[in-house]
């Protein structure tokens, strides 16, 4: 290609600008790698310092207990003041470690390997939590429509299997995302996490339940239960007091499923292991959900009474 003097001059000028920009990119990237190394060293230093502090606090706690037993009355107030300050440290360390890389738990290690899933700023943490909530909402609505279709419009085992496969994928994905949230400082604990593992197992058992007389006997009840649960979850944003009647109805629906399935094991037609396994799993879900909800309600009203007393 031939260039006129003007166009060649413009191209040379453009090339010169690109060269300067390229040099700037290289310098910026060099600084970026240098800062990454510095951040990595600071992370290691902070993590080791926190571990060292925890160890020394534990040793100091033992020493203070001995001093309390052997010391005079004048030393008790000083010891109590120190111990009161020490009580705040675990919470402070927890907040610090939310922004430091940490080893994955057993579940994440099995699923993801040794991949660092720690998000290092609040914006990314909030964005991931928001995306997690949106994922739950969208999939809940999809499963609600799917269960309605299976319950009232289509009655094919293949469609049921697709619905149960979607449930397995949904609950399994929830367990992974919740583990990532916990690694980033989220205080999702106890039964509310474990129930998703149980639900994954239950959906897997339902998926393997072969077509038969007992499956058809329980199919409508299970789909009605799924329709109720997904419908309930799609508007769980309301207050706890408003939700309680619907929440307990869902818990007793799980108990009803467990009892129905157990009664089916008394029938002469019973031969599938999935019947008894689903019955036991529904019973575990009922007991965990029911007693955990009672505990939450009790703690809520207890805190309200304390606030009124103050």
Contact (CB, 8 A) for 88 and 166: no
Contact (CB, 8 A) for 108 and 176: yes
Per the structure block, which two tokens stand in for 295?
Answer: 């505990």
Contact (CB, 8 A) for 196 and 178: yes
Contact (CB, 8 A) for 88 and 106: no
Domain ranges of the chain: 19-97, 143-309
In order along its 310 residues, the chain shows pLDDT tens digits of 444 556 788 888 888 889 999 999 999 999 999 998 998 899 889 999 999 999 999 989 888 888 877 766 667 778 888 888 888 898 898 888 888 888 888 888 888 888 888 888 889 999 999 999 999 999 999 999 999 999 999 999 999 999 999 999 999 999 999 999 988 888 887 888 999 999 999 999 999 999 999 999 999 999 999 999 988 877 665 445 557 788 889 999 999 999 999 999 999 999 999 999 999 999 999 999 999 989 888 888 777 766 655 5
How many Cβ atoms sit within 10 Å of the Cβ of residue 183?
Answer: 20
Angstrom distance (rounded) from CA 164 to CA 170:
10
Angstrom distance (rounded) from CA 292 to CA 294:
5
Angstrom distance (rounded) from CA 260 to CA 255:
9
Helices (H), 211-267: 213-233, 240-264
Contact (CB, 8 A) for 171 and 243: no
Residue 282 is predicted with a pLDDT of: 97
Q: In a 10 Å sphere around its CB, with 0-12 CB exposed, 13-18 middle and 19+ buried, how is residue 96 labelled?
A: middle
Global confidence as pTM? 0.81
């Amino acid at each position: 290609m031939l260039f006129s003097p003007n166009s060649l001059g413009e191209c040379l000028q453009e090339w010169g600008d690109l060269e300067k920009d390229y040099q700037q990119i290289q310098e910026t990237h060099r600084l970026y790698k240098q800062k990454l190394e510095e951040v990595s060293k600071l992370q290691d230093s902070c993590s080791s310092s926190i571990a060292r502090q925890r160890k020394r606090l534990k040793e100091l706690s033992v020493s203070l207990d001995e001093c309390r037993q052997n010391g005079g009355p004048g030393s008790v107030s000083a010891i109590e003041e120190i111990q009161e300050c020490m009580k705040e440290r675990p919470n402070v360390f927890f907040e610090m470690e939310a922004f430091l890389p940490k080893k994955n738990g057993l579940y994440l290690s099995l699923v993801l390997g040794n991949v660092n899933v720690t998000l290092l700023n609040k914006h990314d943490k909030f964005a991931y939590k928001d995306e997690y909530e949106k994922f739950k909402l969208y999939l809940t609505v999809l499963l609600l429509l799917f269960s309605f279709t299976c319950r009232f419009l289509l009655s094919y085992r293949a469609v049921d299997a697709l619905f149960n496969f979607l449930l397995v994928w949904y609950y399994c994905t929830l367990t992974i995302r919740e583990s990532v949230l916990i690694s980033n400082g989220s205080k999702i604990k106890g039964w509310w996490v474990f129930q998703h593992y149980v639900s994954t197992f239950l959906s897997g058992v339902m998926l393997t339940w072969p077509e038969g007389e007992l499956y058809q006997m329980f199919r409508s009840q299970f789909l009605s239960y799924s329709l109720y649960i997904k419908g309930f979850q799609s508007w769980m944003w309301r207050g706890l007091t408003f939700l309680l009647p619907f929440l307990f109805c869902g818990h007793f629906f799980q108990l009803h499923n467990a009892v129905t399935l157990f009664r089916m094991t008394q029938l002469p037609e019973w031969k599938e292991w999935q019947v008894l396994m689903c019955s036991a799993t529904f019973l575990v879900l009922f007991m965990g959900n029911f007693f955990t909800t009672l505990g939450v309600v009790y703690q809520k009203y207890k805190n309200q009474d304390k606030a009124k007393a103050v």
